[in-house]
Amino acid sequence: MNLAVRDVRHNLGRFLLTCLGLSLLLGVVLSMIGIYRGLVDEALTLVRQPGADLWIVESGTRGPFAEASRIPGDHRDAVARLAGVAAAGSLTFQSVETEHRGRTLRLYVVGYEPGRPGEPRRLAAGRPITRSHYEMLADRRAGLEIGERVRLGRDVYEVVGLTDGIVASGGDPVVHMTLRDSQRLQFELDPPAARRELARGGLPAGLDTVNAVVARVLPGVPEARVAAEAARWKHIAALTQGEQEGLLLKSVVEKARRQIGLFTALLMAVSAVVIALILYTMTMDKVKAIATLKLIGAPDRTIVALILQQALAMGAIGWGAGTLLILLAKDHFPRRLLLLPDDALMLGAAVLVLCVVASGLGVRLALKVDPATALGG
């Protein structure tokens, strides 16, 4: 006879409510893990999007994502001519904020050269950029439609295509435009500022500056060899794709990762305390029944099984409901929440271990119950 099942059946409403509470808590834990995964995935999406093997950036910087990097635009040709390089393309990166349809629209603008590395490889809707100016590709997260016109800086750009899932490490949706347009947006001074610059004897600001040059190497050519070749120019630095991803994760995502990791650990500790308290309270409610069972000859293993089975059932139901809840809600989060099956399973296993450990308090109490408690009032 399974006493745990019968006890649960008897107090079904209370048990399910407890499971619901636990599922919300575990759902938060799972969402934190998902947010971290999403953060890493989003950060890497942008750096992986060009499909580059090498990143050429300003010497002494770890740009363009970890810090600012500026190199002359003509370096693309020089890089393209390096032995072993198949293709190269210039890129700019810039955050912009604009008012659109009565709301503030924050975007991450990537300038690229159509037909060269850096161009979005897949469009979810619309067409690629075909004109030299005033067209852009927007990610769906921006909430823009094809044909919509958005003012950025001094110019108005028309959305001609949509990408899906390309966002910056900060979560801002990415828009792509031609390199020339993005250079004007980033480097061109307003007329009053330009006039002032001329009046004080400065040179007109050059627009042909880029933040990075990306290159693809020929099959079979070691990236490190080409990087070493590029690094012979003292004013630039060359990073392999792996190094760029590592830098991005270390400098941009690391703090967020530690923050989320710590928060997740705290939540797990809170979950453990909550589970332990729930089990302890549930055991307290059954002290008389446990004493009676002991008095009529129930072995300790029967009592332990009663508590442990309920703890495991609570953990399993809480985890299952929490996972389901997050699966249903994940698309409503403002930032990407990436749920990996392995993470969910790992959490499930951790919760079950937690339940076993947390039930220790209840089990200890139950084993200490004196059978004589059952006698008398």
Q: CA 17, 18, 23: angle at the middle one, nearest 5?
A: 95
Query: Does 189 interact with another protein (rule: CB under 8 A)?
Result: no
Quick one: 96 exposed, middle or buried, by C-beta within 10 A (0-12, 13-18, 19+)?
A: middle
Which of 302, 352, 360, 361 touches another protein by CB under 8 A? 302
10 part of the interface to another protein, by CB under 8 A: yes
368 contacts another protein (rule: CB under 8 A): no
- Residue 245 binding another protein, by CB under 8 A: no
CB burial of 237-266 (b: ≥16 within 10 Å; e: otherwise) equals bbbbbebbbebbbeebbeebeeebeeebee
Report how far residue 145's alpha carbon sits from residue 111's, in angstroms, rounded to the nearest whole number: 20
Among 147, 219, 297, 334, binds another protein (CB under 8 A): 297
Residues forming beta bridges with residue 56, ordered by sequence position: 213, 238
With residue 240 as reference, give the H or E element that holds it.
Answer: strand 236-240
The correct pick among 194, 224, 287, 289 for binding another protein (CB under 8 A) is 289
Is residue 83 at the binding interface for another protein, with CB under 8 A as the rule?
A: no
377 binds another protein (CB under 8 A): yes
Please tell me what DSSP assigns to residue 172: P
- Return the residue of 298, 305, 313, 350 that touches another protein, per CB under 8 A: 298
1 counts as binding another protein under rule CB under 8 A: yes
203 is a contact residue toward another protein (CB under 8 A): no
Member of 86, 198, 205, 375 binding another protein (CB under 8 A): 375
Q: Taking the complex as a whole, how short is the minimal distance between the CB of residue 6 and another protein, in angstroms?
A: 5
Which residue number, 230 or 282, has a Cβ lying nearer to another protein? 282
Considering the complex, what minimum distance in angstroms separates the CB of residue 1 from another protein? 5
369 binds another protein, rule: CB under 8 A: no
**At its nearest, how many Å lie between another protein and the CB of residue 302?**
7
Does position 125 bind another protein by CB under 8 A? no
Among the listed residues 6, 149, 255, 258, the single contact to another protein using CB under 8 A: 6
What residues line the site for another protein (CB under 8 A)? 1, 3, 6-7, 9-11, 288-289, 292-299, 302, 370-372, 374-377
